[in-house]
Structure 1
Amino acid sequence: MQAVNQEADESLEKINGAMTTPQAIIDPMSDITKVTRFEVIDHTTGGEGRVFTKYGVSIELSYQDDGQTLKVFVRDRGDE
């Protein structure tokens, strides 16, 4: 069990250069149908923090290019 936890911790450190806490990561199995607000936070060098916020939306995640690209489709709630 400790090896599994260590692997999970190492994976979390790789995400966003260790700037994301485990609580902030969405479990892929979670119910994204409950999402009504979408935000993009820029934590890159020189980034400006919150750069996009949209309320009253639904989202769809699409992994492409063998998992190298994540596309997020933001739609008006009810148009899904």
Structure 2
Amino acid sequence: EIDKKSDIEFTLKVSYLEIYNEEILDLLCPSREKASQINIREDPKEGIKIVGLTEKTVVVALDTVSCLEQGNNCRTVASTAMNS
């Protein structure tokens, strides 16, 4: 049905975050300096929003996979009593 409506345009953006030690980490941000500018806001119409998080525009599925791979490489990996 979408193919029949060629006048529809949209943009798809991806963000990837990690909450670690009560801190929000932007996994798509190459610089940890910018990551300190992330804030959680509550909007009455849109709900919870995370302001300052990197958004990458994706066009095809492979773009999304690339974002996931980049983010996975930036994740905090540490041994804890729960996962050791």
Give TM-score scaled by structure 2 length: 0.19
Higher relative contact order (CA 8 A, sep 6+): 2
